[in-house]
Amino acid sequence: MCGIVGYIGSKKATPFLLEGLTCLEYRGYDSAGIATIEDNKIEVKKDKGRVKNLYDLDGIDSLVGTVGIAHTRWATHGKPSKDNSHPHLDNSGTFSVVHNGIIENHNELRNFLISKGYSFASQTDTEVIPNLIHYYFNNGENIGDNKFLSAVKQAVSDLKGSYAIVVMSPLFKDELIVARKDSPLVIGTSNGENFIASDIPALLSHSKNFYLLDDNEFAVVCKDKIKFYDINLTEHRKGIKNIEWDATETGKNGFEDYMLKEIFEQPNSIRETIGSRLKLGENCYFDDLEISEEFLHNINQIYIVACGTAMHAGLIGKTILENLCKIPTTVEIASEFRYRNPLIDEKTLCIYISQSGETADTIAALKLAKSKGATTIAISNVISSSITREADYSIYTHAGPEIAVASTKAYTSQVVLIAILAIHFAEILNSYEQEKLEALKADILDLPSKIENILADTSKIKNFADKVYTEKDMFFLGRGIDYAVALEGSLKLKEISYIHSEAYAAGELKHGPIALIENNVTVIGIITEPDLVDKTCSNLQEVITRGAKTLIVTNMQLENNCFDFVIDIPEINHLLSPILSVVPLQLLSYYISKNKGLDVDKPRNLAKSVTVE
């Protein structure tokens, strides 16, 4: 959640800070603010609402400072308001802080500071941080030769929870101090200026060279140098990462919204994810994995652990892994997995999926599994993200930056990568007929062109959206692997259109949910499982009898078709059909949201990276 940017250099900081916040607004958009050092004091400009509101604030054009920090907020403690927006100051105005994360013991710290004479202007957990820094600056011990850094270190040592912070002070106007624990923070470097942000895309126009802060690590950032320190404030050297994402990838490139652009980017993101890993007539190539035949034969369980859309990708991965590899596979919601004492040992393989690589629950679940001796694999779209640095092995989707809050291209890339991984395991185990594996590989290689065929004409989907966008409830039905697609389709509709929707395994309909079906309710069915066509059609007939109107996404020849609308998709192996059948559902949600006049890319109450528990 929340977006942080910082700048130190020789140029005016405000333009970069506003640009960076705009790039990071997918992380939160309840309020926004910036602070710069002006004439040896901190000037703060902030307001409730979107980043664009900052451009109209009185005095913002007069800020000429070359050191600054900024923040766009996803509210946790305290409602969206000007007072609760960041940056926050200590009582004396000496220290300013922007923060991403949650301070779990903020009430305890607030009471301590009140007892020392401090007061508070907001309801946030963050405001304790600058006041703690001020307290330790005046009352703490000096650790090393930097009193500012020493005070920050002592302050964060009191914090329980997660944080990424940038701290600024006019007493030390030639440096910014950053620290992180369980929340992402990157530093981009250039000639004579340095940049700080929560995510790499915010910095791509300014730098291709990045330092990725580790947990419990500090940095003192000056315009021409950066020093790194561990938890004990021992200075150390740190390697730099070169990121070759094209800055233009973060633009809309002529599309009206990022989500639509990212839907149409799926053919290319899948091609990039396939890369050199899969070729006909050759074994799949994973040089970044050291998984042996002996290990795979000895494991007794695979867990796939993720949240939201990534968890739905895992549900499809479960079916593919069990079909190809014959290994029992369980999909778990990361936030639940952590707290139910799962049965994990050295014979367990755990696969963790996170687009950002910063999902707090997923990272915590990974750490739990490692502590119990499991082998861990991370699947992420972001190189050197937190989850990939924690896992034993990491493999990457290559979807490029995904800006829209509702995931589309990252999701389909995740499913493709899990499918290739399952083929790789099956080749090691010799658990599936080689001829069928080759056919499956051919189908994977055909996926981009088949998605292009779907995207070539979206008029039928748009026309259906025009008919149903005013509805209050919808239902998604599927059986087998199609049920996982129903879950994802329902989630997309909820996320961006705010229409209540439910997804059910079609066979469960008669066990209660059919009571919700009434005249003219929309039911969307997915039918791609060859062995379940007749049964799914029978389940859908039950809703038609009760007055529902139906939209069907299918690649099957449906006899005695009595459905109101049918979206045909290309034929493909049923294990891969979710990668195709989800595309019309993504588009349907998009067009419904547009018809309702909603902000497709920034749905209410949501943020792109969920870095809090």
Q: What is the pLDDT of residues 523-534, one digit of tens each?
A: 999 999 999 888
Residue 1's pLDDT band, with cuts at 50, 70 and 90, is low
Instruction: Name the phi and psi angles at 143, rounded to 5.
Output: -110, 110
Q: Output DSSP code: residue 526.
A: E
For 559-612, write each residue's pLDDT tens digit: 767 898 999 999 999 999 999 999 999 999 999 999 999 999 988 877 555 554
Residue 605: per-residue pLDDT = 74
Q: Is 49 exposed, middle or buried (0-12, 13-18, 19+ CB in 10 A)?
A: middle
Output 279 or 35, whichever has higher pLDDT. Answer: 35
pLDDT number for residue 244: 67
Residues annotated as catalytic (active site), given as ranges: 2, 608
Three-state DSSP at 351 gives: strand
Q: Measuring CA to CA, which residue among 71, 85, 96 is closest to residue 148?
A: 96
For 431, other C-beta atoms within 10 Å of its C-beta total 17
pLDDT digits over 100-113, tens only? 888 989 999 999 99
Q: How far apart are CA 358 and CA 368, in angstroms?
A: 16
Tokens of 571: 């034929």
For the chain, domains (ranges, CATH) are 3-249 (3.60.20.10), 251-454 (3.40.50.10490), 459-595 (3.40.50.10490)
SS3 per-residue string spanning 352-419: EEECCCCCHHHHHHHHHHHHCCCEEEEEECCCCCHHHHHCCEEEECCCCCCCCCCCCHHHHHHHHHHH
Span 287-328, pLDDT tens digits = 878 899 999 999 999 999 999 999 999 999 999 999 999 999
Residue type, 258: Y
Stated pTM of the model: 0.72
Cis peptide before 570 (omega within 30 of 0): no
Position 304 scores a pLDDT of 97
In degrees and rounded to multiples of 5, residue 496 shows phi and psi of -110, -15
Kindly tell me if the per-residue pLDDT of 38 is higher than 90: yes
To the nearest whole number, what is the mean pLDDT of the chain? 91
Q: Exposed, middle or buried: residue 455 (CB in 10 Å: 0-12, 13-18, 19+)? A: middle
pLDDT, one tens digit per residue, over 246-259 is: 555 566 767 899 99
How far apart (Å, rounded) are the C-alpha atoms in residues 198 and 37?
21
**359/379 Cα distance (integer angstroms):** 12
Q: What's the average model confidence in pLDDT over 329-350?
A: 92
